[in-house]
Amino acid sequence: MKRILLILSLLILTACSSNKIPEGFTESELNDKAEEIVSLLNENKVDEVYSMFRTDVQAMIKLEDLEVIIQDKFNQVGAFKDVSQIAITDTKDPSTSEIYAVVIIVCEHEDGKSTYTLSFNEELEIVGFFIK
């Protein structure tokens, strides 16, 4: 029994330490920003989230299209209940070599789950947004 508990403890510690915070970012600022975005979306303040998109990203998607995407997802999963998991990693833009922080945030809803993948530049502008 002790051996099983030890193995489980090691697995949990490994999972918790797997976040790779990119240089120039802090875990707390990324968590706070991601949770702020989820909160705004759940309050139907999609326009405020859209204003956090970097200008070139805004040029790729219209606010109205983003609103439809968000509403469709919420229609599937129901009302928001809680954030259940947050993971952070990094990625590198192959064309500019810019390093981005990627926050994956899993949320529980009445009828399912939603998973947000949010990419941020060092100014904490959204440079990537995906909801599943």
Rg (CA), the chain: 17
Region 104-119 average pLDDT = 92
Q: Is 119 exposed, middle or buried (0-12, 13-18, 19+ CB in 10 A)?
A: buried
What mean pLDDT is reported for the chain?
84
In terms of Cα–Cα distance, which of 48, 42, 56, 33 is closest to 103?
Answer: 33
Are 88 and 27 spatial neighbours (Cβ–Cβ below 8 Å)?
yes
- Nearest to 74, CA basis, from 103, 94, 45: 45
Domains, the chain: 19-131 (3.10.450.590)
pLDDT (mean) for 14-33: 76
48-66 pLDDT per residue, tens: 999 999 999 999 999 999 9
pLDDT of 122 over the 60 cut: yes
pLDDT digits (tens, 9 = 90+) for 64-92: 999 999 999 999 998 888 898 999 998 98
**pLDDT tier at 19, thresholds 50, 70, 90:** low
How far lies 2's CA from each of 5, 15, 40, in Å?
Answer: 5, 20, 44
* pLDDT band at residue 20 under the 50/70/90 scheme: confident
- pTM of this prediction? 0.79
What stretch of H or E contains 101?
A: strand 99-109
Spatial separation of the C-alpha atoms in residues 44 and 39, rounded to whole Å: 9
Q: Is it the case that residue 8 has pLDDT exceeding 80?
A: no
